[in-house]
Structure 1
């Protein structure tokens, strides 16, 4: 499954501007996250990219972009860790950023490479960013699921393979939520409302076009 920038933003909590900025490499070094599937137009993110982006968004709550870049430089260059960013648990306590392993943590910013103790943070759970509630990655709504093994990770109605976007489209076309079952058997009114609500949330990441 591939995710266009708007869906990647909605599932990760990053803004469209952040996604664009994080794709660009600094004068010296590497970009924070280069989309795994297609870094050039059309830009397409992988599911692993979404997990990594959520990590970056959570780090940004407590750390400057400069610290994040420094931490990733330590991770990739000093420690030689070149796996996809989603493979690593990175957390911040406000003063530094740690690489967390099951039995230890490594300071990536203040005391680069030193083993320390840090608290684990689950980036898949809901969190807040700039007053916005970023949903659980696997359960963005009560009746909407993201399951990597179902339709490649496209958001679907819980317990089905029905894309939530298709259900939302019907509601937006004027079909009453209680009648969605006529089109997709087993999709309840509540599930249809959740699909429409999630679609509105995704669309909230669409950049506002300025009038000419």
Structure 2
């Protein structure tokens, strides 16, 4: 489960957008509730990141209309299951080699340029959103490793375990290898920098 600050950092959706969407689930309510605090699933992060990328190109009304069209077409799985891309002033659903418009001319086939929602992008607020699979060069996200929690590249070591280890200054970046032999000082620096991004989002 992903808390709000990590969700904000990984998706490009703002804290206030998440709060608003929790009160009135306009786009997506957290899969794991809101009490005592909101926790988002890995699927939620993928969907929210898609919405943030779309929101940098089209209005929230158009995103809602696209989701409504998906419902009308009886495509009711979690939004992360669908590939949605901005198509001019509209949104298209990409399925295999076809794309259909969901907003301007629902169900009309269209040609779209595919973008990888996991790549870094600039959100609506002109803020750079981290690369989803590699939020820092020495960190990676893999759904099959710790449920998608960010880890040190090539390991199962959670980034926050490293941050906690060096937090009080008793263990230097170089000494981390005594506890985790596969974790380099560069990886420690990336974990700490990523933790700072998350703290800034809190």
Q: Which range, TM-score by smaller chain?
A: over 0.9
Change beyond 3 A, Cα 1:167–1:149:
same
- C-alpha displacement of 1:199: 0.5
- C-alpha displacement of 1:189: 0.6
Change beyond 3 A, Cα 1:24–1:97:
farther
- C-alpha displacement of 1:131: 3.0
Per-residue CA shift, 1:157-181, capped at 9, x if unaligned? 1121111112112333223212211
- C-alpha displacement of 1:108: 1.1
- Counterpart for residue 72 of structure 1: 67
The counterpart of 2:199, out of the listed 176, 186, 203, is: 203
- Counterpart for residue 210 of structure 1: none
- Counterpart for residue 93 of structure 1: 87
In 2, Cα distance between equivalents of 1:154 and 1:161: 10
Q: SS of the residue aligned with 1:62?
A: coil
In 2, Cα distance between equivalents of 1:41 and 1:108: 36
- Counterpart for residue 133 of structure 1: 128
Change beyond 3 A, Cα 1:36–1:173:
same
The counterpart of 1:35, out of the listed 30, 36, 48, is: 30
- C-alpha displacement of 1:183: 2.7
In 1, Cα distance between equivalents of 2:37 and 2:77: 24
CA contact (8 A) 1:23 1:32 kept: no
Count of residue pairs the alignment pairs up: 200
Per-residue CA shift, 1:8-29, capped at 9, x if unaligned? 111111111111222343xxxx
- C-alpha displacement of 1:93: 3.0
- Counterpart for residue 116 of structure 2: 122
Per-residue CA shift, 1:29-67, capped at 9, x if unaligned? x63112122244332111011100110000000111111
In 2, Cα distance between equivalents of 1:62 and 1:113: 20
The counterpart of 1:179, out of the listed 175, 178, 201, is: 175
Asked if 1:12 is matched to 2:8, the reply is no
Per-residue CA shift, 1:135-175, capped at 9, x if unaligned? 22121111111111112221111121111112112333223
In 1, Cα distance between equivalents of 2:99 and 2:182: 47
- Counterpart for residue 84 of structure 1: 78
Runs of 4+ in 1 over 3 A off after TM superposition: none
Q: SS of the residue aligned with 1:204?
A: helix
TM-score, structure 2 normalization = 0.92
Q: SS of the residue aligned with 1:177?
A: coil
